[in-house]
Amino acid sequence: MASDRSAASEALVFYDEAADSGGETREQYRQVQEWFSRLTISEVQALEAQRDQSFRRQGITFTVYGNEEGTERTWPMDLFPRIIDADEWATLERGLIQRVTALNRFLDDLYVGEQAVVNDGIVPRWLIDSCTGLTREAMSVPVPRGARCLVAGIDLVRDGDGTHRVLEDNLRNPSGISYVIENRAAMTKLLPAAFANTSVRSVDHYGRSLLRALQSIAPPACSSDPTVVVLTPGIYNSAYFEHAFLARSMGVELVEGRDLLVDNHVVMMRTTHGRKRVDVIYRRIDDDFLDPVVFNPHSTLGVPGLMAAARAGTVSIANAVGNGIGDDKAVYAYVPEMIRYYLGEEPIIPNATTYLLWDDDQRAEVLARIEELVVKPVAEAGGYGIVIGPHATEEELEDARRKIEADPRNWIAQEVVNLSRLPAWTGDDFAPRHIDLRPFVLCGEQVEVIPGGLTRVAMREGSLIVNSSQGGGSKDTWVLGTHGDTPDDEAEAAEHLAARR
């Protein structure tokens, strides 16, 4: 049964990013397609070997827990890029700014506002109260500019009709931007000819943009030169490379909890020259481990008294504590209504079709056709716990049914989105593989979308799981400039990145 369903799913028509319905190469891919067609198998393999050697030398790695090959592996980047033309990107950019603006207003409304979205019946109160991401310790803790989600990673997919849809919102500690930048640096070194006569917008400014955004949310009483730090759980975290990369890119200190202390509601950093006041913390530690005084008392990763300092307004924390409520996949279903409510606009990028399983009618429909749908736990991330009906075994489907019936609030179902495909190297040829896109949005004085984002690719044939934590790969994502733009010198950007190391 499972194999029959899998075979049927592969018979579906998927949107091809590189070729139109007639099989002709799309205009933005013609030059790159021609360039790659001239490479022999041995030449591609040699380029891959150079890529891997460079990544290993620089320590560009990612941890896959439970991976039988080992805890740490070289970051997987496919050489064939994803290309987005200027007009398409302009629409995505507007849609992302719209969505993240509404989500920030929603979070600020809940934590320091009047909870108008609940009182007016847009989002059910019982749903909010039952969210595991709701952090009552963050109530009435202000965030300058209302930028509770200073860094957002919004997962986009393109369905079989070519329509972009939002699959998930990542508002806590979205990871992956360092790999966006390193993918670009690697491509400009390995394949400079592929960039010839192509105006590709740069991503190398991310560190500067992130620093400006963080400085913009410094406490009102802060000096004109706020001290910003990146707070990491340490070297054993799966995204530690990114933590170190971002601190280096911004020119700020990378610290662990033991490097900070709170004195009279002020956060201080221990340095070789004595204590130094900290104004903004870009934390890459989950809420539960951030402050043992109010959260997990056994945590050695956080800073005792940090929440008291935030409540006193002497330090700003990004992303804000409590953002997990916006990551809840059941709350996700209400984001289009949030956009209408807070902004008075229609959503530019639609959600994937989603079923809320506490509703008796929707649950009955899902259970009747679960083999056709994707079932997700509302509070998990990284692809964990997902059951893709067409690819699941009968045992997996029956287990999903039992879990849904036992706790329907904690599950959603979605129609299978036939993820678009793009050629990827399989070892001896290029073959179509499913992809998604995680653009990154910064919210400081202005809302800025970094051109492109992390294109993730399912490296196994037929797989729809693209998450890096589940063994997926990545691609460099090129956003083309308009004809009036000054072409970005990507080779210079790569040299600048290398010079900072």
Handedness of CA 237, 239, 240, 246 (dihedral sign): negative
Q: Is residue 225 part of a domain?
A: yes
Q: Is residue 97 part of a domain?
A: yes
| Model pLDDT, residue 490 | 42
Q: What angle (nearest 5°) sits at the alpha carbon of residue 323, between those of residues 233 and 338?
A: 155
- Report the interhelical angle of 240-250 vs 206-216 (nearest 10°): 80
| Model pLDDT, residue 75 | 84
Burial per residue of 352-363, b for 16 or more beta-carbon CB atoms within 10 angstroms, e otherwise: bebbbbbeeebb
Q: Residues 6 or more apart from 382 whose CB is under 8 A from it?
A: 467, 469, 470
Residue that the structure tokens 């930028």 belong to: 147
Q: Is residue 437 part of a domain?
A: yes
Q: Domains in the chain: how many in total?
A: 1
| Model pLDDT, residue 161 | 92
| Model pLDDT, residue 76 | 87
| Model pLDDT, residue 469 | 63
| Model pLDDT, residue 471 | 67
Q: Is residue 370 part of a domain?
A: no
Q: Is residue 382 part of a domain?
A: no
How far is Cα 12 from Cα 3, in angstroms, rounded to an integer? Answer: 15
* Average pLDDT by stretches of 10, the chain with 501 residues: 44 84 93 92 94 88 58 82 96 98 98 97 96 95 95 96 95 94 94 84 96 96 91 91 96 98 97 95 97 96 97 97 96 98 98 96 97 92 82 94 96 93 91 95 96 92 74 90 52 39 33
Q: Residues 6 or more apart from 184 whose CB is under 8 A from it?
A: 202, 203, 204, 476, 490, 493, 494
Cβ neighbours around 498 below 10 Å, total: 11
Q: Is residue 100 part of a domain?
A: yes
Instruction: For residue 475, give the 3-state DSSP assignment.
Output: strand
How far is Cα 309 from Cα 321, in angstroms, rounded to an integer? Answer: 13
Single pTM value for the model: 0.91
Q: Is residue 397 part of a domain?
A: no
| Model pLDDT, residue 122 | 98
Q: Which domain holds residue 194?
A: 2-352+417-500
Q: Identify any residues that bridge with 457 across adjacent strands, giving them in sequence order.
A: 435, 473
